[in-house]
Chains A and B, each alone.
Chain A
Amino acid sequence: DTAVSQTPKYLVTQMGNDKSIKCEQNLGHDTMYWYKQDSKKFLKIMFSYNNKELIINETVPNRFSPKSPDKAHLNLHINSLELGDSAVYFCASSQGLRTGNTEAFFGQGTRLTVV
């Protein structure tokens, strides 16, 4: 029933590990995003995909690799985790923000803690 669902909700891992976060949306949207919310609460876009095609790639370390097997899924894989990667990662989807006043729907977030 959930519109945008991401797993896991919590992730605690050691430095140097590789981890993945999965995201799925059942809204039929064309566009999906990954946002990072740091300890200062700023939400910053990391990636955006439109119909499985990467359209936004902010200045994110290449340890972060998004993958979109189809337009309903956008996963985030992170290699060699660092302490500074600790944050809340939000997946979101929309019908297409390029068309103007279109709402973005967010998943519940994945709280990543690197120790």
Chain B
Amino acid sequence: RKEVEQDPGPFNVPEGATVAFNCTYSNSASQSFFWYRQDCRKEPKLLMSVYSSGNEDGRFTAQLNRASQYISLLIRDSKLSDSATYLCVVNRNTGKLIFGQGTTLQVKP
């Protein structure tokens, strides 16, 4: 079993839709959590950190449930430019980021 699991998708949604991605992690010692975005044939870039209380950045909302070891990302009012792979990432504060496989989102006009 992978330490960080995501549904690889693809998720195909129309512009303006709301879409949610989920991620589970297996190591309860995980301390820090992130969502990264990776465009096709590009490097991963930080989208947002995920805090226990949940956090929002514009159209993006991230939630963390430590008891269930579950992280989510909600994207509202999807734009064409949101099409990318979204990577769930955890860090045990050991200096090692553990990446999920990524969930591919395709937003259609």
A43-B44 contact given A100-B31, A101-B32, A101-B49, CB 8 Å threshold? yes
Chain B residue at minimum C-beta to C-beta distance from A48: B95
Indicate whether B46 reaches chain A with its CB closer than 8 angstroms. yes
Contact residues of A: prevailing secondary structure: mixed
Asked if B43 and A90 make an inter-chain contact with CB atoms under 8 angstroms apart, the answer reads yes
Q: CB-defined interface of A24-35 with B at 8 Å, one 1/0 digit per residue?
A: 000000010000
Asked if A108 and B91 make an inter-chain contact with CB atoms under 8 angstroms apart, the answer reads no
Asked if A55 and B32 make an inter-chain contact with CB atoms under 8 angstroms apart, the answer reads no
A106-B44 contact given A43-B87, A101-B49, CB 8 Å threshold? yes
Chain A residue at minimum C-beta to C-beta distance from B46: A103
Q: Which residues of B contact A97 (CB under 8 A)?
A: 32, 91, 93-97
The distance in angstroms between the C-alpha atoms of A41 and B98, with both chains bound, is 13
Asked if A108 and B42 make an inter-chain contact with CB atoms under 8 angstroms apart, the answer reads yes
A104-B87 contact given A41-B101, A42-B99, A50-B95, CB 8 Å threshold? no
Indicate whether A62 reaches chain B with its CB closer than 8 angstroms. no
Indicate whether B85 reaches chain A with its CB closer than 8 angstroms. yes
Chain B residue at minimum C-beta to C-beta distance from A90: B43
Interface residues on A, range: 20 to 34
CB proximity of A64 to chain B, nearest CB, Å: 17
CB proximity of B40 to chain A, nearest CB, Å: 11
The distance in angstroms between the C-alpha atoms of A103 and B42, with both chains bound, is 17
The distance in angstroms between the C-alpha atoms of A96 and B102, with both chains bound, is 24
The distance in angstroms between the C-alpha atoms of A4 and B49, with both chains bound, is 20
Q: Which residues of B contact A96 (CB under 8 A)?
A: 95
Nearest 7 pairs between A and B by C-beta? A106-B43, A43-B99, A103-B46, A101-B49, A97-B95, A98-B95, A101-B32
List B residues at the A interface (Cβ < 8 Å).
8, 31-32, 34, 41-46, 49, 85, 87, 91, 93-99, 101-102
List A residues at the B interface (Cβ < 8 Å).
31, 40-45, 48, 50, 55-56, 90, 96-101, 103-104, 106-109
